[in-house]
Amino acid sequence: MSIQIVNTIDDRHPLDAFFQPRAVAVIGATEKRDSVGRTVLWNLLSSPFGGTVYAINPNRHQVLGMLAYPNIKSIPEPVDLAVIITPAPTVPDIIKECIEAAVKGCVIISAGFGETGEKGKELEEKIKNIISSHKIRVIGPNSLGLMNPIIGLNAAFASHIANKGTVGFITQSGAVGAAILDWSFHVKVGFSKFISLGTMMDVNWADLIYYLGNDIYTKSIVIYMQALGDVRSFLSAVREVALHKPIILLKGGRTELGARVARSTPYYVESEQCDDEVFSAALKRCGVLRVDNIQQLFDMAIVLGKQPRPKGDRLAIISNAAGPSILATDALISSGGRIATLSKETIDQLNEVLPPYWNHDNPIDLLANADPQRYAKTAEIVLKDENVDGLLVILTPQVMTKPLETAEAIVKVPNPYKKPILASWMGGYKVEEGQQLLNNHGIPTLDYPDIAARTFYSMWHYSYHLKGLYETPSSREETSEHLAQKALAKSAIEYAIRQNQIILPPSLTKDILSAYGINLIESHIAHDETEAVHLAKRLGYPVVLRQVPIPGRKLDDPGGVLLNLHNEEAVRKAFRTLTEFLTQGQQACVFPGILVQPVVPRDGIEIAIGSKVDPLFGPYIYFKFGGRMSNIVHERAVGLPPLNTTLARRMIETTQIYKAIKEGKACAGFNLEELEHLMVQFSYLVCEQKLIQEIEVNPLVISPKRIVALNASILLYPIDTLLEALPKLAIRPYPTEYTFKWISKDGREITLRPIRPEDENLMIKFHQTLSDKTVYFRYFQLQPLHVRIQHERLTEICFIDFDRSIALVAIDKDEKTGEQSIIGVGRIAKIYSTQDAEFAIMISDAHQGKGLGTEMLRRLIQIAKVEGIKRLCGTILPENRSMLRVCAKLGFTLKKPTGQEIIAELILS
């Protein structure tokens, strides 16, 4: 086992070239007044950032009193960042020169690319081809530039550098960025990073979100978006980062008219037309807070960056006047929040510090003569109340009010339970000092109490959905029965394709749905009156006649069903009526007959569940009222598959269906978990049966007695569609293909499979089996058990994004009890924007030395090859000899940077 000694590895992040450059070159620097080249150069010179600035202009010897160089290659030291401000046709050759000069990053401020037509698009493609095989990163074109106020870097076409702060801001629109920058000086908002992305030729949302996610100076990330770009990389990035830092997003072009205007901008991409509801669902699924305007964008960024998220929606309000409290209460209730009910103990304590004539209720009126001590004592008492999830402190500048002193008292109030505190110091110059002091001490101030109340509810709504993403769902084992059902559905689809059918008949639709546990009522097609009567007699009266699913006509069309037909005459008349209705106009040529069904008691609620394909996000699931109600209530909930039970419940909760189930008589006693399970099964259908283009079950009757589908339609993709051409799921589903069986040295059958969210409890038990030595070898430090098994930590391990990493668990099953246990964990994590990945393995002490570590690493190598990874590496302590031997046996090269741990590296073909 040989170990190579190598030089210390450069561990700087590729994007450090943009935000921590040691040398910056301005290509296109000039002295022309009010020009971009002069402004950017002056900004860099007038705001020292600790690096060197170079001017490049082949036509001048000096620019602004400094030496001008003819090109990037003539600069005497390595350049990290080049800011390009030259005509678009010159940019490709300049990029080539930057590559030759080993420049690490370029910002292209120049315009004149794809937005100008075909020639501009050709220039963009040319630059993409040039940089594709090199490590240089590019922001732009059409970028305003970037700033790092923390170190003083201003590489932007802007009048002033942004104030220092904790908000990382990314915008596509330079104009919006410039306006927000100007606004930020007025409202005293500061930034950790300020980035204008432009048209995202190379560096995209995901690159910057990951970077800001790891930036210690960034507490929240704010995005103004016009085009999304790579969907999967964006969703992967926000899913990972939103768990630690709030991400708030505002997207232009939500309305039809706004979208039309967006098409005329440089950032518009023809292929990016998506359903706005689906986009919102994707953001919610990944923990991103979407807002409607710029004010909300920064209000939420500041509030979430400074205050803890509330654990509930109950707000306490204290004020020195009733009017503002009323406004706040109305705003909170209309948003969906609740006014906290103060406990008797809290009321008793308040009686001791407030005048006898106080209102004895929440909101608490401190009265016009409230002094700072009254504010502080009241706030301290209220924050201890278990019924209170957050506090809003309102101050109006009355005659006896002391805004600054009151603010000083509030910031000293103990908050042992980490509840969010918001303030609204109403007024102008009289309250400015108090506002500033509160903000400086981490208590955000909102101009008006109604805005503050809505902000609190938005905090709770965001927190509730974020928490829901990482709640441990109920377990689901992939049994042989499920595999058989999945195969049955697949064979039904293959049969339809062999018959050249893309609209599935009721019999095949029933087979597919039943394979996933959805019961579709018995249905038969009648092509004439006589056949309809024959089928009705066979089924037994009364019967229902219903339209057969056909493209272009909704299943819940009010004229498409006739109910409770008790005799032959009624059936014949109904058949004629439906035939006339369904064969009007263009439908006449595709009339497929009429469905005849038995009557099912409609003693519950009729809903609909379906799936369609979004051009950008791929398949999505919708949930809404079905049958007759669908023409009255037009709301729907949208979600991205795959779903688990928690995500299914979140979808249900956003609709009036949830209220009808909880409060209506028709569903009294209905077990909501049954509906959650059905939605999860439906999401498996959508994920696994990739040839289905559209599916709708409508109506689906749910009641305490039954869940039964009365009608359903399935539309396949055209017969000649290639599998690789099918739209991909925006969120990668569980990779069942990475499940393996292995026989250990002692003869036990071990299952290696990807980790699941529901493995959290098994992971807790696994960590209980680990010795200090095993923990030290894995984490390079001793971590106590209570730290390793925290829910928040295990959430990150079990709720895995399979586009970013694959974690395998080794499952041992007790032969007597059938109880499962995890005896080993292995993981490969892709290094973003590279074809590299890191691996790590940990085996339970009782199972070490039995070949499991070798088998685990062998399988990880196999998976890495399938995932397109070219280089696999792991960091190992020198004293971990057994792991080093395993790596050497499997072909890894062992390298030891001076004074560091050993790097095991494997180049994959």
pLDDT in tens, 699-724: 899 988 889 999 999 999 998 888 88
Q: Which two tokens stand for residue 19?
A: 């935000």
How far is Cα of residue 626 from the mean position of the Cα atoms in its chain?
29
Q: How far is Cα 256 from Cα 263, in angstroms, rounded to an integer? A: 11
User: Residue 700: what pLDDT?
Assistant: 93
- What value does the mean pLDDT take over residues 816-827? 93
User: Residue 891: what pLDDT?
Assistant: 94
Considering the domain 736-907, what is its CATH architecture? 3-Layer(aba) Sandwich (3.40)
Q: How far is Cα 792 from Cα 244, in angstroms, rounded to an integer? A: 10
Q: How far is Cα 842 from Cα 825, in angstroms, rounded to an integer? A: 5
Whether pLDDT at 482 is above 80: no
User: Residue 774: what pLDDT?
Assistant: 95
Give the DSSP H or E segment for 615: none
Average pLDDT, the chain: 90
Give the DSSP H or E segment for 590: none
- What value does the mean pLDDT take over residues 629-641? 87
- What value does the mean pLDDT take over residues 631-650? 89
* Homologous superfamily (CATH) for 16-235+243-265: NAD(P)-binding Rossmann-like Domain (3.40.50.720)
SS3 171: strand
- What value does the mean pLDDT take over residues 182-189? 86
pLDDT in tens, 669-701: 788 899 999 999 999 999 999 999 999 998 899
Higher pLDDT residue, 332 or 795? 332
Higher pLDDT residue, 575 or 3? 575
* 12: confidence class by pLDDT, cuts 50, 70, 90: confident
- What value does the mean pLDDT take over residues 879-884? 93
Whether pLDDT at 408 is above 70: yes
Mention every residue, 6+ apart, whose C-beta is less than 8 A from residue 407: 423, 425, 433, 434, 435, 437, 438
The CA angle 147-149-154, to the nearest 5 degrees, is: 40
Looking at the chain, the whole-number percentage of residues with pLDDT higher than 70 is 94
User: Residue 612: what pLDDT?
Assistant: 95
* 630: confidence class by pLDDT, cuts 50, 70, 90: confident
Q: Which two tokens stand for residue 697?
A: 């079950």
Whether pLDDT at 263 is above 70: no
Q: Which two tokens stand for residue 704?
A: 């305490």
User: Residue 484: what pLDDT?
Assistant: 78
User: Residue 166: what pLDDT?
Assistant: 93
pLDDT in tens, 234-256: 999 999 999 889 999 999 866 66
Q: How far is Cα 592 from Cα 583, in angstroms, rounded to an integer? A: 10
Every domain of the chain and the residues it spans: 16-235+243-265, 307-469, 736-907
pLDDT in tens, 362-374: 999 999 999 999 9
Cis peptide bond prior to 699, omega within 30° of 0: yes
* 628: confidence class by pLDDT, cuts 50, 70, 90: confident
Residue 687: name the closest of 638, 725, 736 by CA: 736
Residue 319: name the closest of 354, 278, 364, 285 by CA: 364
- Angle, helix 449-469 to helix 645-653, in steps of 10 degrees: 150
Range of weakest confidence among 128-137, 273-282, 665-674: 665-674
How far is Cα of residue 860 from the mean position of the Cα atoms in its chain?
27
pLDDT in tens, 435-446: 999 999 999 999
Distances (CA, A) of 7 to 387, 891, 900: 59, 22, 10
Residue 324: name the closest of 225, 426, 224 by CA: 426
What count of other Cβ atoms lies within 10 Å of the Cβ of residue 82? 30
Range of weakest confidence among 39-53, 95-109, 482-496, 747-761: 482-496
Higher pLDDT residue, 117 or 315? 315
SS3 191: strand
Residue 107: name the closest of 212, 196, 191, 230 by CA: 196
User: Residue 259: what pLDDT?
Assistant: 60
User: Residue 187: what pLDDT?
Assistant: 79
User: Residue 898: what pLDDT?
Assistant: 67
User: Residue 587: what pLDDT?
Assistant: 47
Looking at the chain, the whole-number percentage of residues with pLDDT higher than 90 is 70
Considering the domain 307-469, what is its CATH architecture? 3-Layer(aba) Sandwich (3.40)
User: Residue 814: what pLDDT?
Assistant: 87
Q: DSSP state, 234?
A: H
User: Residue 116: what pLDDT?
Assistant: 86
Whether pLDDT at 551 is above 80: no
Strand locations in 262-377 (E): 289-290, 314-319, 338-339, 364-365
CB-count exposure of residue 723 (10 Å: 0-12, 13-18, 19+): exposed
Q: How far is Cα 159 from Cα 39, in angstroms, rounded to an integer? A: 8
The reply to whether 307-469 shares the fold of 16-235+243-265 is yes
Whether pLDDT at 264 is above 80: no
* 431: confidence class by pLDDT, cuts 50, 70, 90: very high
Q: How far is Cα 210 from Cα 198, in angstroms, rounded to an integer? A: 18
pLDDT in tens, 70-109: 999 999 999 999 999 999 999 999 999 999 999 999 999 9
Long-range Cβ contact pairs of 664-669 (< 8 A, separation 24 or more):
664/605, 666/603, 666/604, 666/605, 666/703, 667/604, 667/605, 667/702, 667/703, 667/704, 668/704, 669/704
Whether pLDDT at 478 is above 70: no
